[in-house]
Amino acid sequence: MRGEDMEQQKQIVIIGAGYAGMMAALRLANQTRRQPVAITLINAQDKFVERIRLHQLATNQALVERPIADMLRGTGVRFVQGTVTALDPTRKQITLQDSTRPISYDKLVYALGSYTERSRVPGAAGYAFTLDHASAMRLRERLPGVAARGGKVLVSGAGLTGIESATEIAEVYPALRVEVVTSDSLEDDLSIPGAAYVHETFRQLGITLRERTTINRLEANRALTGDGSALPFDICVWATGFGVSPLARQSGLRVNPAGQIVIDARLRSVSHPDIYAVGDAASFAPESGLSLRMACATALPMAVQAADNLSAWLRGKPEQPFGFGYMIRCISLGRRRGLIQFVDADDRPQPRIITGTAGALIKEMICRYAFEALSMQRRGIGILWWSRARSAGSAPELTAARLRG
């Protein structure tokens, strides 16, 4: 226990071991090796899930298995496998399923992420697959049989998850008929050149796109739309909207209407400052001047800042506000094509894009980097990324952020 008695140690607990939770644990462990602190990482599964690759898993592509215990080996972080069922911010305790003994903390990092929300549309939970890990595994088993008879896959949603899922399925299973339905338009989230490239890729892959169409209900093998149409399918993939765990709301933390923990610029809960929230489970308070979308691209730097602030707290130093700005969105369009959409610091699409094989290579490099950043952090190796930093009241500028443990 780092040479200190439990009574003398500060207890830092991290719940959730996705990109954000894992980065926070690894970075904090590097920064506190000589300090009286115990770090516990809690996760429902015993393996790290590369969520940004689940569309590849669904199409029967082999992914590397990454046990969490192996990723934490040698760091001093204690791993506990379990599902958090209760959080008591007054007593500073969490309770795990099938456990009668609560786990206490001095500081908590809440990194439970998000999931695909299906409850808002009747029938979606019963008749649609998602790109969550367990559902992606079931989809992986189902697709070959439907492809063998030339069946149809209906993808609900044309955000990044929907686009990546549709193109991956169409490329791997060309005999399938793939249709994408979205209540929006590609031009709502992409530049005109970017949307045009996705349209052309859909055409080449034989994907039908139905825009400005809302699915009101799913039944067995058909979707009922707002205009009265019935769209048949053999498989429906639901990629519309995200939800978060109800744990924060149930625990009395201040949350936004979506259930995300409202945090200040230093990533602390505005109602319970001993709780830091990072990744998809967090939303900045309006007065912070920050607004970020759910993405791995924001989860990692948020985790870095949370770890740095906790390290500063342990040393009696001031904690720093988070500053971040976007540069690109990267979208895989199967294994052979990709789209790199340049954006401004506030994530607004710009005309410049990179497409084709070059886009696919950059996208793959970024996906690899997302995991390698964790691996390098575990080994205490300094890594460097470039981002346009932005904080409340400041203009975007290109800066370098060194993630050194």
Confidence band for 98, pLDDT divided at 50, 70 and 90: confident
CATH topology identical between 6-114+244-403 and 124-241: yes
Q: End-to-end CA distance of the chain: give it in Å, rounded.
A: 19
Average pLDDT over residues 116-131: 94
Q: Classify residue 2 by burial, with Cβ atoms within 10 Å: 0-12, 13-18, 19+.
A: middle
| CA count, 13 A, side-chain hemisphere, 309 | 24
pLDDT at 384 over 60: no
Confidence band for 389, pLDDT divided at 50, 70 and 90: very low
Confidence at residue 10, expressed as pLDDT on a 0 to 100 scale: 96
pLDDT tens for 261-305 read: 999 999 999 999 999 999 999 999 988 777 777 777 788 999 999
Q: Where are the domains of the chain?
A: 6-114+244-403, 124-241
Confidence at residue 237, expressed as pLDDT on a 0 to 100 scale: 98
- Rounded to two decimals, the pTM is 0.90
pLDDT tens for 301-317 read: 999 999 999 999 999 99
Checking DSSP bridges between strand 383-389 and strand 397-403, what pairing results, if any? antiparallel
Q: What does the block give as tokens for 239?
A: 């990629």
Average pLDDT over residues 121-143: 96
Q: Cα separation of 297 and 397, whole Å?
A: 18
Q: What does the block give as tokens for 311?
A: 């390290």
Confidence band for 393, pLDDT divided at 50, 70 and 90: very low
pLDDT at 382 over 70: no
Q: Using N-to-C axis directions, what is the helix angle for 19-31 and 296-314, rounded to 10°?
A: 30
Confidence at residue 394, expressed as pLDDT on a 0 to 100 scale: 37
Q: Cα separation of 364 and 370, whole Å?
A: 10
- Please, which residues have CB within 8 angstroms of residue 331's CB and are 6 or more apart in sequence? 160, 163, 164, 198, 338, 339, 340, 341, 359, 363
pLDDT tens for 64-97 read: 999 999 999 999 999 999 999 999 999 999 999 9
Confidence band for 381, pLDDT divided at 50, 70 and 90: low
With vertex at residue 282, the alpha carbon angle to CA 280 and CA 287, rounded to the nearest 5 degrees, is: 135
Which CATH code for domain 124-241?
3.50.50.60
pLDDT tens for 158-176 read: 999 999 999 999 999 999 9
Confidence at residue 338, expressed as pLDDT on a 0 to 100 scale: 97
Question: Which position has the token pair 């399918």?
Answer: 233
Which CATH code for domain 6-114+244-403?
3.50.50.100
- Let me know: does 384 contact 377? Beta carbons within 8 Å: no
Average pLDDT over residues 25-49: 94
